[in-house]
Amino acid sequence: MLKRGLLVGILSAGVLTSSCSEKFAQNENSDLMSIYNPPIELEKSVEPEKELITEKNPEPKKQKEVSKAPEKDVKKIKKEPKNPKPAKKQKIVKKVPSTKYEKIKEEISKLHKLYATECAPEEIAFAEAYLESADGIKLENEIAHVNKIDKLIFLQKAEVYASLARDKVYSDVDKDGVPCYQEVAEGSNPNVSDLKNVEKENKQIKKSVMKYNQSWSKKENVKKKGWQSLKIHARVHFEFNKADIKKEYLPYLNVIIRHLKNNSKLLVKIIGYTDNIGPKSYNDKLAMKRAKAVRNYLIKHGISPKRIEILGKGKADYLFDNKNELNRFTNRRADFFIMEPTQKEGA
């Protein structure tokens, strides 16, 4: 009987402990939990701040007033501090822990805007998890609160991870001079250096420039094909509305003729110009006449007409403005361009 009684007693004790164990453990107000997690008054840690804030309050002004006020009024004023407004102070105490929470929250939201999920996914995830847990972990409709010590630890950890995430966001892992957040914003890989891409681009640009230069030089060669740029440049000026060569210019023309005769491969290009007076069609004809006059003179002196090319530009390419007679005279002209074949033909 005694044995049976003992067994029953043990079993009943076991049932009681098992059913109560979890409730007992979860109950923060239980004696055991209070021993395990001793309640900490945050107010004590906040007290210095409270003092700081109270210093900013207008109380010191009142003290100044006291020094100025007469003795009767001093008694009244001295009585006032006996009934301070406790509601305001309590509010200040409550705000302090929430500000830290809010600060970290703001920082995390800022980091999210700077692509922290791409640059520092681990750090930002840990910071967020600790911050959310500090406020209480949501379980379906309930919120599982953590005790005050854990709350402080979680906030501390969240702060540390947020700072680590910030460092990573502004860091330059691939050492190309562009921070991580900027690279993500630009759509490039933050772990791969952009310098390689820049080098590739530079190479491509160089190649394209080389190709362009080669093609340009080919074009120039085509233009020059067999002929070099001007060798001798001469000019003949004319009187108003006339196409006769002045005697003064004949020695110059003779020099050119001699040179052309000595070098049978040379070609001549003559371009006639006029001043701005008169209609365009007339001036074009006049310019052509002037070029022809020079050409005729050259032909007279034994230059083959095949070697001479003429062009009448008329009212174009003024050397000076046509404001006075001297300028107009300078513009009324026929330009000579003597060209010789290139040394390497077809180059």
Partner 1 sequence: MKKLLLSCLGLIFIFSFSYGKGYITTELIDEAQNSLKIAYEAKCEQFAPYEYSKARAYYEISKMETSKGNLKAGKAAALKSIEWSLKAISKRYKKGD
3-state secondary structure of 262: helix
Of 18, 29, 262, 281, the residue at the interface with partner 1 (CB under 8 A) is 18
Q: Name residues whose C-beta falls within 8 Å of residue 188's C-beta, 6 or more positions apart in sequence.
A: 178, 194, 197
In this structure, are residues 170 and 181 in contact, taking their beta carbons and an 8 Å threshold?
Answer: yes
Q: Which two tokens stand for residue 146?
A: 């953590």
CB of residue 127 to partner 1, shortest distance in Å: 9
Identify the CA nearest to 337 among candidates 307, 314, 296: 307
Stretch that binds partner 1, among 69-77, 142-150, 277-285, 338-346 (CB under 8 A): 142-150
> Which of the ranges 135-143, 170-178, 234-242, 305-313 carries the binding residues for partner 1, by CB under 8 A?
135-143
Scanning residues 192 to 221, which ones bind partner 1 (CB under 8 A)? none
The set of residues, in sequence order, having a beta carbon less than 8 Å from that of 249 and lying 6+ positions away, is: 236, 237
Q: Is 11 in the site for partner 1 (CB under 8 A)?
A: yes
The binder of partner 1 chosen from 2, 87, 139, 326 (CB under 8 A) = 139
Q: Does position 181 bind partner 1 by CB under 8 A?
A: no
Q: Which of 6, 26, 78, 186 is close enough to bind partner 1 by CB under 8 A?
A: 26
| Alpha-carbon distance values, 79 to 67, 75, 85, 153, 297 (Å) | 15, 6, 13, 43, 125
Residues 92-131 that bind partner 1 (CB under 8 A): 117, 121-122, 124-126, 128-130
Residue among 8 and 277 whose Cβ is closer to partner 1: 8
Neighbours of 288 (CB within 10 A): 18
Tokens of 111: 């980091």
* 39 is a site residue for partner 1 (CB under 8 A): no
Q: How far is the CB of 175 from partner 1 (least distance, A)?
A: 21
Residue number with CB closer to partner 1 (138 or 280): 138
Number of residues that bind partner 1 (CB under 8 A): 36
Q: Which residue spans within 115-210 are E strands per DSSP?
A: 137-139, 142-144
- In angstroms, rounded to a whole number, what is the distance separating the alpha carbons of residues 290 and 311? 10
* Closest CB 137 distance from partner 1, rounded Å: 4
Given a contact cutoff of 8 angstroms between Cβ atoms, the answer to whether 114 and 124 are in contact is: no
- Residue of 81, 78, 28, 37 whose CA lies nearest to 57: 81
For residue 272, the SS3 value is: strand
Among 6, 77, 144, 205, binds partner 1 (CB under 8 A): 144
What minimum distance in Å lies between the beta carbon of 147 and partner 1?
7
Instruction: Figure out which of the listed residues 7, 40, 195, 210 binds partner 1, where binding follows CB under 8 A.
Output: 7
Say how far apart CA 227 and CA 307 lie, in whole Å.
Answer: 12
Among 6, 19, 202, 246, binds partner 1 (CB under 8 A): 19
Task: Tell me whether residue 19 or residue 63 sits nearer to partner 1 (CB atom).
Answer: 19
Q: How many helices (H) and strands (E) does the chain have?
A: 14, 6
> What six digits make up the tokens of 113?
């805007």
Among 111, 115, 154, 236, which residue interacts with partner 1 (rule: CB under 8 A)? 154
Binding residues for partner 1 (CB under 8 A):
4, 7-8, 11-12, 14-15, 18-19, 22, 25-26, 28, 33, 36-37, 117, 121-122, 124-126, 128-130, 133, 137-139, 142, 144-147, 150, 154
